[in-house]
Chains A and B, each alone.
Chain A
Amino acid sequence: MGRYVVRRLLQMVPVFFGATLLIFLMVNVMGDPIAGLCGDRACDTATAAQLRREFGLDKPLWRQYATYLGNVFTGDFGTAFNGRPVLELMASAFPVTLRLTVVAILFEIVVGITLGVVTGLRRGRPVDTSVLVLTLVVIAVPTFVTGLLLQLLLGVRWGWIRPSVSPDATLGELIVPGLVLASVSLAYVTRLTRTSLVENRRSDYIRTAVAKGLPRRRIVVRHLLRNSLIPVVTFIGTDIGALMGGAIVTERIFNIHGVGYQLYQGILRQNTQTVVGFVTVLVLVFLAANLLVDLLYAVLDPRIRHA
């Protein structure tokens, strides 16, 4: 096990270089970012050239990448176009997004798995159908609309929440945004749990457990659910990235200045240093999440061994 983890950690090195290089190239392919900095008019040529020099954009690409990597290893992630260090942007964006992601994942785990179990055990019953309808609504109605309607209803009509999240973004404020963010993933988790449960319900070990006269609750949680969780855990692992880097719409609706927003702005303004910096951190998060998922396999099913 220990060796497995070490090997996986070592694999992070090539992934780090591969991902940074890929993103670096992609942002560069988008073209010259300087033209977008002067508003609805052309930058004068001298200032544009000077800005290009300052951001190192006048150098060949491989030099830019080498310089960037060198700086990263000394802890300097560069500067965004509005003059703020990328490190500062990351320090303000990641904690908020992390909290939001935690709330969303809690929803996925608690609500998603619960609904999955309930619908799996009550297949075809009204509760199953209702959840299916909800699933369809969540898939078909854009997050923007769900968020807007929730804000108007909970925030304005009933006054239960603040429509926007304050700069502190406490966990409590992130409940509704977390739910909105988790909504589509909830659909996945619910249906995955339900399907897995239906599959495993007729397994022999469940029959044995039932025959032994174990309490129903114990059968469901201990035997049925545990054996049904592998696809669910896998999905949640892949979802962490989507939640952290792709919460653009949710963050916008609730005015959360998180990773999704900074990354989106960085992409639209073609700021290599912001984008590569944020994506690098995200890659590390994916690697950690996927390692965790692989280790969880062995916990959920002791027959799975990592050598």
Chain B
Amino acid sequence: MPERRPDESGQTVAPTGTGGAMDLATSEARSLERTPDGPGGTGPAAPRLSAPGGRPRSLWSDAWRDLRRNPVFLVSALVICFLVVIAIRPSLIAPGNPLACDLARAQDGPAPGHPFGFDGQGCDVYTRTVHGARASVTVGVCATFGVALLGSVLGGLAGFFGGIGDAVLSRITDVFFAVPVVLGGLVLLSVITSDTVWPVVGFIVLLGWPQVFRVARGSVISVAQHDYVQAARALGASPARVLLRHIAPNAVAPVIVVATIALGTYIALEATLSYLGVGLKPPSVSWGVDISAASPYVRNAPHALLWPAGALALTVLAFIMLGDAVRDALDPRLR
């Protein structure tokens, strides 16, 4: 399977677009020619031998060039920027106090000045949803980043080199898989007294990395069989170069997929930990906590569940789109 890598010459003008709209049976054969732009399609197809400046472009700068022109990327980046801003300064758009609650208004619907209504404790859902972004986005993003980094680095090495290192790491993950989350949380987090989200993030990374490890390892084992990898090795490329330049970009897609979905589950996991008293120190405001508090009352006050859950969904959506765009940008066959 000869793959054209950016640093190996390819003579054809690659088609652009993500190609999602194509019908496989009829269009695959045409994919050597120009294909119509897909939904993520970007500007003109550039000759790929060299950059305008003359210097051979790296895969990563190519990817970045693609990304900047991908509307999917731009939209998701915009949403993520927005989330980051309100996580840092929630009072910009929600000046109220998320801890001010009046039980007399419990479960009430929207009212003037309270567009999302009130939750079971009579707190303003809008204010709490906006203020909940800080804890939830921090936990979700940082934990996902940590899990993805640790898991894919170790998994990549284990899958690439195999042998004893792989066996030891793999068996360690087996033990980690065995630790029930509730038990781990009660044991590890109960000894830590910190007002920040970092213990929770650390805990999720500790228990979450084995999954990404397995996925990354499998992906690397699979990609390492491809002909271009064998070719690079035969040409005498160093293992580091083979792993980083040839395998990593092709093996990263499953990791991105798992990480983007895990992001949502980690935000929910924070709520479980907080519920047991080992997560965020009360009075904490987070989407997870509000979602789990609203869950039993979903028949009577669905709005109290809808908004924080919607915010969580929006965050996950932004990262799924971002992941998709990054993956596409890393795939030269789509250029």
Q: A interface vs B, CB < 8 Å? A: 11, 14-15, 18-19, 22-23, 26-27, 29-30, 121-125, 128, 132, 135-137, 139-142, 144-145, 148-149, 152, 184, 187-188, 191-192, 195-196, 198-199, 201-207, 210-211, 216, 219-220, 230-231, 233-235, 237-238, 241, 245-246, 248, 263-264, 267-268, 275, 279, 282-283, 286-287, 290, 293, 297, 301, 303-304
- B268 — which chain A residues lie within 8 A by C-beta? 139, 142
Contact assessment for A235 and B264 in the assembled complex, using a CB-CB cutoff below 8 Å: no
Q: Return the contact of A121 from the options B24, B265, B305 (Cβ within 8 A).
A: B24
CA distance A192 to B324 in the complex (A): 11
* Known contacts A191-B261, A199-B331: A290-B170 contact under CB 8 Å: yes
- Chain A: CB-nearest residue to B291: A142
- A282 — which chain B residues lie within 8 A by C-beta? 178
Q: Which of A140, A149, A293 has the most CB of B within 10 A?
A: A140
Contact assessment for A187 and B261 in the assembled complex, using a CB-CB cutoff below 8 Å: yes
CA distance A219 to B218 in the complex (A): 23
Contact assessment for A137 and B25 in the assembled complex, using a CB-CB cutoff below 8 Å: no
Contact assessment for B225 and A303 in the assembled complex, using a CB-CB cutoff below 8 Å: yes
Contact assessment for A192 and B1 in the assembled complex, using a CB-CB cutoff below 8 Å: no
Contact assessment for A19 and B253 in the assembled complex, using a CB-CB cutoff below 8 Å: no
In the assembled complex, B310 has its CB within 8 A of some CB on chain A: yes
Q: How far is the CB of B188 from chain A (nearest CB, A)?
A: 8
In the assembled complex, B59 has its CB within 8 A of some CB on chain A: no
With A123-B19, A230-B218 already in contact, 8 other A-B pairs whose C-beta atoms are closer than 8 Å? A30-B186, A121-B24, A123-B39, A136-B316, A140-B312, A195-B254, A202-B331, A235-B215
Interface size for B (C-beta < 8 A) is 71
In the assembled complex, B222 has its CB within 8 A of some CB on chain A: yes
* Known contacts A136-B313, A142-B268, A238-B214: A304-B221 contact under CB 8 Å: yes
- Chain A: CB-nearest residue to B171: A15
The 5 A-B pairs with the shortest beta carbon distances in the complex, nearest first, are: A123-B20, A124-B20, A231-B254, A234-B218, A139-B264
Q: How far is the CB of A59 from chain B (nearest CB, A)?
A: 21
In the assembled complex, B195 has its CB within 8 A of some CB on chain A: no
- B210 — which chain A residues lie within 8 A by C-beta? 238
Contact assessment for B333 and A202 in the assembled complex, using a CB-CB cutoff below 8 Å: yes
6 intermolecular pairs with C-beta atoms under 8 Å apart: A26-B184, A132-B317, A142-B291, A192-B254, A201-B19, A203-B1
- B170 — which chain A residues lie within 8 A by C-beta? 290
Q: How far is the CB of B102 from chain A (nearest CB, A)?
A: 25
Q: Return the contact of A124 from the options B24, B38, B171, B178 (Cβ within 8 A).
A: B38
- A233 — which chain B residues lie within 8 A by C-beta? 218
CA distance A128 to B1 in the complex (A): 29
Q: What mask results when residues 209 to 249 of chain B are scored 1 for a CB within 8 Å of chain A, else 0?
A: 01100110111011001000000000000000000000000
CA distance A12 to B39 in the complex (A): 49
